[in-house]
Amino acid sequence: MAKAAESSGDPGTTSPRPLFAGLSDISISQDIPVEGEITIPMRSHIREFDSSTLNESVQNTIMRDLKAVGKKFMHVLYPRKSNTLLRDWDLWGPLILCVTLALMLQRSSIDSEKDGGPQFAEVFVIVWFGAVTITLNSKLLGGNISFFQSLCVLGYCILPLTVAMLVCRLVLLAEPGPINFMVRLFVVIVMFAWSIVASTAFLADSQPPNRKALAIYPVFLFYFVISWMILTFTPQ
Amino acid sequence: MDTNNSCGAERVDSHPMREFGDAATSAANPGTTTIHIEGPSESPTHQPGLPRGSGGEEDDELLGNDDSDKTELLAGQKKSSPFWTFEYYQTFFDVDTYQVFDRIKGSLLPIPGKNFVRLYIRSNPDLYGPFWICATLVFAIAISGNLSNFLIHLGEKTYHYVPEFRKVSIAATIIYAYAWLVPLALWGFLMWRNSKVMNIVSYSFLEIVCVYGYSLFIYIPTAVLWIIPQKAVRWILVMIALGISGSVLAMTFWPAVREDNRRIALATIGTIVLLHTLLSVGCLAYFFDAPEMDHLPTTTVAPNQTVATAK
């Protein structure tokens, strides 16, 4: 085989042989056994972490979770493109916000027979099933965000609208009139825009580039419906 | 060479016909090369290309003969995952933003002679459009109805504003039932007629759902404009919306029934348009209060006073 290679080349010119050219000529006559160990170095770290949180006081546990929720609230209020909200997702924040919103929005028992505002269960169902539907929609369109990460982002971005609900409730304590309505309208529009900007900042990157508008429109519809419910809230 | 010649000569003398047609002999002789000449493998769509005139083109586009082979092949290739996997449902959302916009544009501008399904859907029916157009329409009707009632009764002293949230669930039931049950009934009817009469064009269930979903898009701006409390304006809007979406539906389904008995074909198209009319008129009547001619506070107070004095 080596003779054939030499005879094919011109003896006068020195053409450099390409790298690994002779590899195809090598034949292995016997099998070479491969052996060794594969260890996962992270295992010992996780075990240490788990056992240490079992012995801490209840206050430590609660404060750690509350601090995580509070940090995410700050991320929503000042939306920057960061991955913290996506990486360590939790559903405590969305649950607190949804329950607060539903408690404030529910109609009183006086006009439960007539057509009034939504009940507590209706608000709860709209928020959670709306978030689940939007998450399914973005996953079906080909987004690479996990189910609970998306629920977490959508739930946390209700925070500006909950603040708007508190402000509207306070404004409604004053005398009713067109100025009252204008103030509420302005607050709700600003908070609605803030929610859209915050959720888009977190969710837009996970969608395929030619389907971003298709995935963002349901988020717009979702926050629009919640804003409508907040704006049309009339106390008895 | 001499041995080959003698062998070949022997074979020619003994079996004259077998040497040329027998593939086994060519396989038995490794030195020989065989040339296979295959028939033309072009699709049958290329053959009627020459005699296709202008009228034939319209017919083909309406009937979808030009890509019927391709559609069968594509349909067979696409839905290959079993229905319990997530990927099966992802095939129904395989649309880009510009495709959804094109389909919406096609439903707003029905061009006579162009079939919506063949032109825009092209064997890629999606569920994104129908689902989100229906969701938007539900909230558009409920919110516009609420706003319109508020503006109509604005001057009345006895009116207290209520958000009427229950109407959202009623609107959702009506719209989603219309967008899914009517296509189901129509698809069943077309399948039954297909078994009796050989129709060239047949639509799958998802394509019919797609057409109905996109044809409802015109009602979203119509519902917003129904806030204007003038009866004449509202009825003109109903006519315009019905004209556009009804013509999209009629032009889509006419090629599917025109091979059939004349009366049945006309009855089918008539039923489609009638159901569409019922939906729009029903929504206008239920969600939007009738605008009164004059709603000055004096006219509402006067009858109460006369009733009080009569008592």
Look up the ipTM and state it. Answer: 0.73
Nearest CA in chain B to A123: B165
- Asked if residue A127 has pLDDT above 80, the reply is yes
Could you report the per-residue pLDDT of B144-160, keeping only the tens digit for each? 999 998 888 887 877 77
Could you report the per-residue pLDDT of B41-59, keeping only the tens digit for each? 444 444 443 444 444 444 4
Q: For B165, which of A118, A139, A210 is closest by C-beta distance?
A: A118
Alpha helices in B50-115 (DSSP H): 54-63, 68-78, 86-90, 97-108
Nearest-angstrom CA–CA distance, B221 and B226:
9
Q: Cβ contact (<8 Å) for A229 and B89?
A: no
Strands (E), B110-176: none
Reduced to 3 DSSP states, what percent helix, strand and coil does chain B have, rounded to the nearest 5? 70, 0, 30
Nearest-angstrom CA–CA distance, A53 and A49:
7
Nearest CA in chain B to A137: B128
A108 touches chain B (CB under 8 A): no
Q: Cβ contact (<8 Å) for A115 and B135?
A: no
Could you report the per-residue pLDDT of A96-125, keeping only the tens digit for each? 999 999 998 887 666 555 667 788 888 999
Could you report the per-residue pLDDT of B75-112, keeping only the tens digit for each? 444 557 788 888 888 888 888 889 899 889 888 888 88
Q: For A116, which of B95, B96, B165 is closest by C-beta distance?
A: B165
Interface of A with B in 121-140 (CB under 8 A): 122, 137, 139-140
Contacts 24+ apart (CB under 8 A), B105-108: B106/B214, B106/B248, B107/B214, B107/B215, B107/B217, B107/B218, B107/B244, B107/B245, B107/B248, B108/B217, B108/B218, B108/B244
Tokens (6 digits) for A159: 């925070």
- Percentage of chain A lying above the pLDDT 70 cut: 79
Show me where the domains of chain A are located: 90-107+115-230
Nearest-angstrom CA–CA distance, A154 and A160:
12
Shortest Cα–Cα distance, B90 to chain A (Å): 5
Nearest-angstrom CA–CA distance, B151 and B143:
12
Nearest-angstrom CA–CA distance, B177 and B137:
13
Tokens (6 digits) for A26: 């090598």
Tokens (6 digits) for B269: 């198209």
- Is residue A210 within 8 A of residue A144, CB to CB? The reply is no
Confidence tier at A7 by pLDDT (50, 70, 90): very low
Could you report the per-residue pLDDT of A147-202, keeping only the tens digit for each? 999 999 999 999 999 999 999 999 988 888 888 999 999 999 999 999 999 888 88
